[in-house]
Amino acid sequence: MLNTQDVLNLSGKVAVVTGGASGIGLATAELLAAFGAHAVLIDINETAGEEAAAGIRGKGGAASFYRCNVTSAVDCERVASEIGSTLGGIHILFNNAGVIRRRTVTELEEKDWDLVLDVSLKGVYLLSKYVIPIMEKSGGGSIINTGSGWGLKGGDRAAAYCAAKAGVVNLTKAMAIDHGPANIRVNCVSPGDTDTPLLRDEAKQLQQDEAAFLVASAGGRPLERLGTPRDIANAVLFLASDLSSWVTGSVLVVDGGGIA
């Protein structure tokens, strides 16, 4: 009889998680570490990142933190090289860092367009560029990119975010085609509204009451609730593990049925 614990066992794997200091990134790093991976948290928030890694180690997991701005090629190349040299390879990459600015194209300033596209889309490209050669030397691996339901359908007052996440969806498919022969699987997890600092910041941007905004965000979904960071982490664990060994180029929507 199949022992699912063996299929999910990530012992000996090095898992890099961007945006790892909070929200979905932190929940995923904690879960991957719980299943045996060495979780490498990447974030620009050094204090929160170090505390998060220490928290994982305090629970018996293996974790480390590297400060990295994913919009910087210099940072991404340096961090990928340091991780590969120090930990002996990279087997899992969760490209999760992202930002949102709730504006229409007429409201949006160019600097905010650049910020959203740089963090949410260019960051996926840059870190993947420098991690993939290391992953190839490790015998292959799994890359998971964070998309969004709004990467598959439009959303109001989020033009740059919708554009970036749509780019992530199709970049995922292109990467899966290019790097499959090297035994690298590339998939996309597309969350719906999830209770994270990012979602709560949207309420501030829209000048709405936070509690009312969260209630409204949960409305209309068949499962009638917001997502939790752990909901998304569970999906990433599936895509990172051998349970999904023949899954690549896919988009897994995790949104409580929001775009069903």
- Rounded-to-integer distance, Cα 203 and Cα 190, Å: 21
Judge whether 66 counts as a catalytic residue: no
Region of 22 please: left (phi>0), alpha (psi -120 to 50) or beta: beta
Bridge partners (DSSP) listed for residue 145: 95, 188
Of the residues 66, 125, 130, 161, only one is catalytic, namely: 161
At residue 92, the 3 state secondary structure works out as: strand
- Rounded-to-integer distance, Cα 259 and Cα 12, Å: 37
- Other Cβ atoms closer than 10 A to 199: 19
Phi, psi angles (nearest 5°) of residue 42: -120, 135
Which residues are the active-site residues?
161
